[in-house]
Chain A
């Protein structure tokens, strides 16, 4: 769940149309048209990605007149499928996968099962990845992957690809670095306990 109280505003006199904002927006709600950035005000989540990366400081975050909340409701009939998808992606359904918005795996899984098939659509549907925009990209990609979906990559830098998890580290790597303090198998054990926790 994400409360949205801010909105990106572009100073058109300062904007140089470089498209940096477009390339970092996690919900694809800012686009450059006729060499000027245009915000879809209805859908902007006020995450500040564009404001923070604009090279000429043409974007500011302002208070919205119409604050709103983004939340994807899980319908009870979906619960079993949601839980199954979370666990397939190696998450407990209640596990928090976005620390800024406290979005849990089950909300993202439900959004995926409802047809949101890219990280951008999932961010727009749940609010995930609209805080820091950094830490939760892999859980989203993992849940999509577990659902058998290969998302279409946007033209910008929103995300590049799925990366390894603990379960992908082969025995040879584990053995070679066994005295380094990495404790791969201990961490797998912790994860497995969490994934299978009864709640």
Chain B
């Protein structure tokens, strides 16, 4: 039995419990082993990070990716905002994304002579989250005092689009040029459905509350993805957009860094890569039998990671999330479609993944409305402090209405094994390059992976690409 992969370290944050209160990680439980992504899917591409080269590999790849990018529009007297998002800092400890941001800055200065290069880092709902990352990674010093966390309730700016007025954040667009720096992991595929993944931050991290509300309330579970495209296509943004640089991610880590002046060209490549790299692991998750899920990562409940996939994807894995015909079991739209009796208003709303028999919330943050998860799956929160943290959160007043508390992780697991009758455990703890699971689940995953791989390659991938108007042959050219 292989040893578990070391889980991601806890982080000191106002949104989580004090790391000292985390007494035991789920990977330390008896009977936990690990499976690498490469073992499951041998065609998984090699990664440049994590690797022995460390963050230097990211610097080198970023510089190389920028070689063919035109920066001639940026003059020494101009100002440039490097626009970032909180998600990148949660990948593999955050060092890779940080290094990419630093390198983009250095290359802009070296190639254009422009020194007024600022960092503008957007957030989700934890409005100080990127402020914490800026401090932890000393980005304010690196950007010579010009690094700033921006939030959707900050001062806005109207942007005229082909569907009407939407609103961006003033601090994102208060420079002559903007450079879009992001990552390609599929992450919120339940929301974006791998449609315009690379464009999404223009309607989210860089956007005001009105625009984000448009995405999550006005334009529908699939139509919503047009929000970002509408903003990006606007004359206002087009005048400022210089280029984009992305960490190209796979479930095993960073495959490379890609840059382009043409965001749609980049978008097409990253959409294809995302389907290819993540399609198999997410489809495999949907094939697993009854299990206990462990949340053990420094992020809010839906964003904890296992093999590069977030828990919210597992909640919806009983449906093919990449197939645009279907609705996802979890999105804010589907959440909104549950009536007062706790049942969906229409039968088309699929249930959350019925294979999740119990959830052990060993370590996960507040700062995201998560009551849907504890309402739909039996949940045990480890430690009174963590339960209090959730109850204090203005977004989670009802989370503990549906969860119970265990004093220790061992007590929680003992209860979970007894009640569910399964010994299969799947842990979302950010283990790099693989996944920590019980021995029984490792066996099941290894048995099912080749069948899933064949199905994805031969049956699902052609459907997914066609639905997005992507011709793989044209892309290859």
Give A contacts to B, CB under 8 Å. 2-3, 5-6, 23-24, 45-49, 52-53, 61, 92, 94-97, 99-102, 104, 130-139, 142, 157, 159-161, 163-166, 168-169, 173, 177, 179-184, 186-188, 190-191, 193-194, 197, 199
Contacts and interface: CB of A to CB of B under 8 A. Distances in A.
26 contacts: A6-B394, A52-B151, A53-B151, A100-B397, A132-B369, A132-B394, A133-B153, A134-B153, A135-B217, A157-B153, A160-B156, A160-B208, A163-B218, A166-B218, A168-B163, A169-B163, A177-B229, A179-B469, A181-B324, A181-B468, A181-B469, A182-B195, A184-B223, A187-B221, A190-B220, A199-B341
Interface of B: 125, 127-128, 151-156, 158, 162-167, 193, 195-196, 208-214, 216-223, 225-226, 229, 324, 327, 332-333, 335-341, 345-346, 348, 368-369, 371-372, 391-392, 394-398, 467-469
B155 A166 contact: no
B394 A137 contact: no
Nearest to B208: A160
Contacts of A193: 346, 348
Nearest to B127: A52
Contact of B324 (A5, A23, A164, A183): A183
B356 to A, nearest CB: 20
Contact of A160 (B125, B127, B210, B219): B210
A138 B223 contact: no
B402 to A, nearest CB: 12
Contacts of A136: 213, 217
A194 B222 contact: no
A9 B114 CA distance: 43
Contact of B154 (A46, A157, A164, A177): A157
A22 B214 CA distance: 24
A27 B392 CA distance: 19
Contact of B127 (A53, A96, A135, A183): A53
Given A135-B212, A138-B213, 18 more contacts: A6-B392, A24-B153, A96-B335, A99-B332, A134-B125, A135-B209, A139-B217, A161-B158, A180-B196, A180-B226, A180-B469, A181-B225, A190-B221, A190-B327, A190-B333, A194-B337, A197-B339, A199-B339
Nearest to B196: A180
Nearest to B221: A187
Contacts of B337: 92, 95-96, 194
B211 to A, nearest CB: 7
Contacts of B154: 24, 53, 157
B193 A181 contact: yes
A49 B125 CA distance: 11
Nearest to A159: B210
Nearest 9 A/B pairs, CB to CB: A187-B220, A179-B469, A138-B213, A52-B127, A164-B164, A183-B222, A181-B195, A100-B395, A197-B345
Contacts of A2: 397
A163 B222 contact: no
Contacts of B339: 92, 94, 197, 199
B336 A97 contact: yes
Contacts of B345: 92, 94-95, 194, 197, 199
A24 B327 CA distance: 34
Is the contact region of chain A dominated by helix, strand, or loop, or is it mixed? loop
Contacts of A135: 209, 212-213, 216-217, 332
B209 A133 contact: yes
A48 B397 CA distance: 13
B468 A95 contact: no
B210 A137 contact: yes
Q: Which of B345, B372, B391 has the most CB of A within 10 A?
A: B345
B70 to A, nearest CB: 26
B210 A163 contact: yes
A27 to B, nearest CB: 12
For A52, A142, A166, the residue with the greatest tally of chain B CB atoms inside 10 Å of its CB is A52
A183 B152 CA distance: 27
Contact of B394 (A94, A100, A186, A191): A100
Contacts of B398: 102
A189 to B, nearest CB: 9
Contact of B336 (A95, A142, A166, A177): A95
Nearest to B271: A181
Contacts of B212: 134-135
A6 B216 CA distance: 27
Nearest to A24: B153
A47 B394 contact: yes
A160 B158 contact: yes
B220 A184 contact: yes
A132 B125 contact: yes
Contacts of A104: 340
Chain B CB within 10 A, most for which of A3, A104, A169, A179:
A169
Given A2-B397, A132-B369, A169-B163, A183 B336 contact: no
B469 A166 contact: no
A168 B164 contact: yes
Candidate in A95, A99, A166, A181 with the most chain B CB atoms within 10 angstroms? A181
Contact of A181 (B216, B220, B222): B222
A64 to B, nearest CB: 11
A53 B212 CA distance: 18
Contacts of A142: 218
